[in-house]
Amino acid sequence: MRKVSALTASKAFKVYMQKNGNSPLSQQDFVEFMISIMKKYDFCDTKSEEDIIRDEFDKVFSTFDYDKSGNLDAEEVANCLSLMCGGSINHKIYAAFTLFDDNNSMTLSFDELNKFIRCVFQTFDGLRKGNSALEGGEVWNKIDIKKLTLAATEKCFQDMKLVKGKGEVNYTQFMSWMTG
């Protein structure tokens, strides 16, 4: 998947969601979506390549189905695309940012930002669980991701002097806040 940029994949996923609604993707839908991207960018030309890629995407699906529901919601797909696709870290963050911009305003409301930040923390938590170097930290084992997400979202809005329900954060503001 590194051959496809996270930004390209996120744009394709937004188009897919607009056509098919915002419902979670079954394993088959996810695999077909990913195969279509690989074919579109000429990374899957033969039936044997498709079969190999299909098996790999089945494994990817299982990795990102955090709640083991048998479906990937938009947040789980965003995690997958931002981690598994290519591009710089800034491109990956921007790709995820745009996926959570439900109204295509190039800004995130409080609720959209909360989903985006939860995606970041869930991604880290998912990676941590599969990485023995990160696994043992007692601090991370005690963290409530939902509470941490809400606190970070509230802090971002507070620091930017925005009011929940009225203000929105653009990508540049968010990145300044993150690195500031």
pLDDT at res. 102: 83
pLDDT at res. 140: 59
Number of H helices, E strands in the chain: 10, 4
b/e per residue 130-159 (b: at least 16 CB within 10 A): eeeeeeeeeeeeeeeeeeebeebbeebbee
Q: pTM for this structure?
A: 0.75
3-state secondary structure of 150: helix
pLDDT at res. 25: 93
72-87 pLDDT, tens digit per residue, is 988 888 888 887 888 8
Q: What percent of the chain has pLDDT over 90?
A: 23
The number of beta carbons lying within 10 Å of the beta carbon of residue 88 is: 11
Are residues 170 and 106 in contact, defined by beta-carbon separation less than 8 angstroms?
A: yes
DSSP structure class, residue 25:
E
| Of the candidates 127, 99, 143, the residue with the CA atom closest to the CA atom of residue 7 | 99
